[in-house]
Amino acid sequence: MPSTPRPLRKLGFLTIGLFDAADPGRGHESTLRIIELGEHLGFDSAWVRHRHLQYGISSPVAVLAAASQRTRRIALGTAVIPLGWENPLRLAEDLATVDVLSGGRLNPGVSAGPPMHYERVRGALYPDTADAEDFGFARVRRLLGFVRGEPATDFSGVEGIEVFSDLVQPHSPGLGRRLWYGGGSLGSARRAGEHGMHFLTSSVVKAEGADGADGAPDFAAIQLSHIRAFRAHHPDGDAARVSQGLVVIPTDSASPEQRARYEAYAAQRLRRTTSPQGPARLLFAPDLVGTSAELAERLHAHAAFREVDEVAFALPFSFAHEDYVQILTDMATRLGPALGWRPAA
């Protein structure tokens, strides 16, 4: 087994938290139980996705507030909150509140850009200001400022019997050092570094440069270039934190039926990995399915994986609760140790 220059230090997982529209409580409870299991297995972090007008978690901050009361140690993250849907000041209040409730375990991941299907939701989301909204990185800077303690108003003091603050309250001092930016381009990597954020990479990148020997875009090489650009622009340099989020499915303890279903899932999604997709030229990484020994070998051969020391492996979208239990258990007891990771106490 080839060695990695950065031994795996932190192991996390990411879930979308799907639910049945007829019984949403059951799906949300499943997500909370999965996070509890992650803490029991020694995972360092649990992350939730963000989905609007879909049957997935629409309010990750609320879900993580609940998770904070059912766990004691595991870091809780969002991967990611698209800020086009949010008011940065109000979001800063919610994030700080959950960070206080969790004892300083929240790791908010955010992204810039217009909301998905904006032309179809703009009337409901911003009925009076749709054409004036700025969905660029300035929205991220506003959130960073509020979370890190910049004034939100020029007024503070006592008015009658009420006391007002010029800062977002509650203020959680450590939260400003735990903000992540989710990006898949060189530009997003540079901006995250310049603003002192951590960097979340995933199984999607923009096909820009770093072609393979055959002239086709090389996912691992592109992702590696993003990681290096981020660190080159970050005050912490090579010590700046990056988390990789590939879809990784260990099968060590899976039943034959589960293995067949996992392999079919990955095969169905393989076609989109062969060439850039859509006007944005998005390139997807193949889902990794196999035994922990096989997965460790493939990950060690991945140029971008060799550059990181923490991961948040993404759970597949549409599997059953029992499947996630098997996958997480194999990750923590077999795959993680094969990558040099040790579970938290």
pLDDT in tens, 180-232: 999 999 999 999 999 999 999 999 999 997 666 566 889 999 999 999 999 99
Nearest-angstrom CA–CA distance, 220 and 326: 27
Check pLDDT > 70 for residue 53. yes
- pLDDT at residue 209, rounded to an integer: 74
Three-point CA angle 245, 246, 251, nearest 5°: 125
Three-point CA angle 59, 65, 70, nearest 5°: 130
Please state, for a pLDDT cut of 70, what percent of the chain lies above it: 97
- pLDDT at residue 1, rounded to an integer: 37
- pLDDT at residue 75, rounded to an integer: 98
CATH number at residue 33: 3.20.20.30
Q: How does strand 204-206 pair with strand 248-250?
A: unpaired
Domain-embedded: residue 290:
yes
Domain-embedded: residue 3:
no
Determine contact, residues 254/244, Cβ cutoff 8 Å: no
**Length, in residues, of the chain:** 345
Residues 247-270 have a mean pLDDT of: 98
pLDDT band at 2 (very low <50, low <70, confident <90, very high): very low
Peptide bond preceding 170: is omega within 30 degrees of 0, i.e. cis? yes
Check pLDDT > 50 for residue 144. yes
Say how many domains are in the chain. Answer: 1
Check pLDDT > 50 for residue 73. yes
Domain-embedded: residue 333:
yes
Domain-embedded: residue 49:
yes
Residues 6+ apart with CB under 8 A from 122: 115, 130
Domain-embedded: residue 265:
yes
- pLDDT at residue 128, rounded to an integer: 98
Domain-embedded: residue 251:
yes
Q: Determine the residue type at 132.
A: A
Quote the DSSP letter at residue 89: H
Domain-embedded: residue 66:
yes
- pLDDT at residue 7, rounded to an integer: 84
307-343 confidence digits (pLDDT tens) = 999 999 999 999 999 999 999 999 999 999 999 999 9
- pLDDT at residue 212, rounded to an integer: 61
Residues 51-71 have a mean pLDDT of: 97
Three-point CA angle 327, 3, 292, nearest 5°: 20
Q: Domain of 317?
A: 10-153+165-338
271-309 confidence digits (pLDDT tens) = 999 999 999 999 999 999 999 999 999 999 999 999 999
| H or E segment and range at residue 25 | helix 24-41
Quote the DSSP letter at residue 70: T
Q: What is the pTM of this model?
A: 0.96
Check pLDDT > 50 for residue 3. no
